[in-house]
Amino acid sequence: MLDAPRNTAYDLRRAMNASAKERIGNAVAAMVEDGATVFISIGTTPAFIANALRRRRNLTVVTNNLNAALALSEVESNRIILPGGEVRLPDRDLLGEAASAMFTRYRADFGIYGVGGIDADGALLDFHETEVAAREAIRLNARRAILVADRTKFGRLAPIVGGTLHDVDHAVIDARPDTAYAELLQSIGTRLLVAKESAT
């Protein structure tokens, strides 16, 4: 019997492509103004974005990512809202009905979310239905839905499908993947942002 597909351990994922994730974080932080309400999903790239958002003030942050919450708690003017429930270790996030329901009770200016993988047809993939449910709640309740993904997510497989690349208002990546995805990325036009080394 085959084992169910599993994500790579959190700390290993955090170390992988760290400079790329930092560039994505800086690019997204440049889009967010002081005083905004921001959803932040689970995952390592959203956690990097939270670190970049420490330069902003008076944010209302609604998140199920404890790493993001801790980073943004360093800014005293921020308001941080978390769901109840059990912390999933070692990822340090919260998933389940309470997390998904939390995002439906707010309307955010920006909904920032990562993804386990992006298939060739643009389908967004994750490892658990609870991850997809929370991500979709973020997308549907944000005025601007921002998908963040480093280039290794293109072609990375995971079993659960939830939404497509065409659903996003913005997709922020660190670099273009191989040419097999050129047509897919072209199809979202100006909604694609490739983070540059100099992004601040």
Determine how many CB atoms are found less than 10 A away from the CB of residue 108: 21
Torsional sign, CA 158, 142, 74, 195 = positive
Residue 20 CA to chain centroid, in angstroms?
14
Q: Residue 76 burial by CB count (10 A; 0-12/13-18/19+): exposed, middle or buried?
A: exposed
User: pLDDT digit of tens for each residue in the chain (200 aa)?
Assistant: 445 566 565 555 555 679 999 999 999 999 999 999 999 999 999 999 999 999 999 999 999 999 999 999 999 999 999 999 999 999 999 999 999 999 999 999 999 999 999 999 999 999 999 999 999 999 999 999 999 999 999 999 999 999 999 999 999 999 999 999 999 999 999 999 999 854 44
Sign of the Cα pseudo-torsion (69, 93, 157, 136, in order)? negative
Record the tokens describing residue 143, joined without a space. Answer: 């005025």
Domains of the chain as residue ranges with CATH: 17-194 (3.40.50.1360)
Look up the pTM and report it: 0.91
